[in-house]
Amino acid sequence: MNVVRVFPLILLAAALSACAGKPARSDAPVADTVVPATSTAPVDNAAGADAPAASVVADAPVPAAATPAPAVASQGASGNDAAATAPGGDDDFDALYGANGSTTSTAAYDPWEPFNRKVHGFNNAVDRGIARPLATAYTHVVPRFARTGVSNFFSNLRAPLTITNQLLQGRPADAWDSLGRFLMNSTLGVGGLFDPASKAMVPRRNEDFGQTLGAWGWRRSRYVELPFFGPRTVRDVFGLAGDIPLSPIRRIESDKYRIGLQGLQLVDTRAQLLAIDDLRDTAVDEYALVRDAWMQRRNYQIENDLRGKRERGSDDANSPIPVDAMPMPQWTN
């Protein structure tokens, strides 16, 4: 493990943890239409002062911007050539927004909103100036089947990280499934370029240490957007430090190959999110849209980990819910 690369993340995590103890002051603008919260988020006992009291959370309004996702599905069917939604995506969508598209989650805990909005503006500037044009050119030049192979390859690389975190969460049966999927795709799938495991009905799951911390009890954590890294929570910042040692790409000694693979992953990740660009560009408050949708998706991933195996939905890598405000590679790969 390269200590020089991980040390800045540890410092950042420590700084965010220290700031978490300061009194929260929300400067968020009040939405024109709000939906009363119908559930109380559990108080974060594992993270100290990183979550407000339950009584405060119960009265928090939900911004109306948290329910625009039904329009994303139609965007994905347009000419933006996004990857098809994997089996189980409808179940994920219903679990988040309800069968009629209504949300039951509380407002995002975002006491650092003024800072986050500034970082979000920077990320969007980099996205529109560099990432989006590269992704658009990539989809025009590279055939669909080749792009699918690239996505499968990077997804397969995350298997060791997923398996480790499933074991840490006390889910050996899921870890066994993920190991079987990894072996099948690495051999029959020619190094992960093809995905025979999905045809064999082996579920695809993506786990990281941020989800493991959530499964261990750190359920609620304040939202923070980092330059280039995009949306995170304080919990997920600590999770990055736990995931990096399992990164297969970062173990490549040659800078030429390592940077090349990370660049290809960046473009591939951004290309998969082209379908939601129109929704983001026309949103009344694009920052609130991305924040609320990302937080709902993240909370669902953690809650999904706590369910029994039969009740657990499939993790949809092509979920219509925005994953990153500034789509970047999975830095833990």
Q: CA-to-CA distance for 20 and 22, rounded, in angstroms?
A: 5
Task: Judge contact between 92 and 26, C-beta under 8 A.
Answer: no
Query: Coil, helix or strand for 90?
Result: helix
pLDDT tens track, the chain, 333 positions: 454 454 555 555 555 555 444 444 444 444 444 444 443 444 444 444 454 433 333 344 444 443 333 333 333 333 344 433 333 333 443 433 333 333 344 568 899 999 999 999 999 999 999 999 999 999 999 999 999 999 999 999 999 999 999 999 999 999 999 999 999 999 999 999 999 999 999 989 889 999 999 999 998 899 999 998 899 999 999 998 888 888 888 888 888 889 999 899 999 999 999 988 999 999 999 999 999 999 998 988 888 877 766 666 555 544 444 344 344 444 445
Q: Which residues contact 279 (CB under 8 A, 6 or more apart)?
A: 68, 71, 72, 75, 289
CB neighbours (10 Å) of residue 264?
A: 15
Q: CA-to-CA distance for 76 and 166, rounded, in angstroms?
A: 31
Kind plus residue range of the DSSP H or E element containing 233:
strand 230-233
Tokens found for residue 46: 């594992």
Q: Which residues contact 285 (CB under 8 A, 6 or more apart)?
A: 29, 31, 63, 65
Closest CA to 323 of 104, 162, 82, 46: 82
C-alpha distance from residue 252 to each of 208, 263, 312 (Å): 21, 14, 35
Output the pTM of the full model: 0.64
The 8-class DSSP code of residue 11 comes to: H
Cross-strand partners of 232:
224
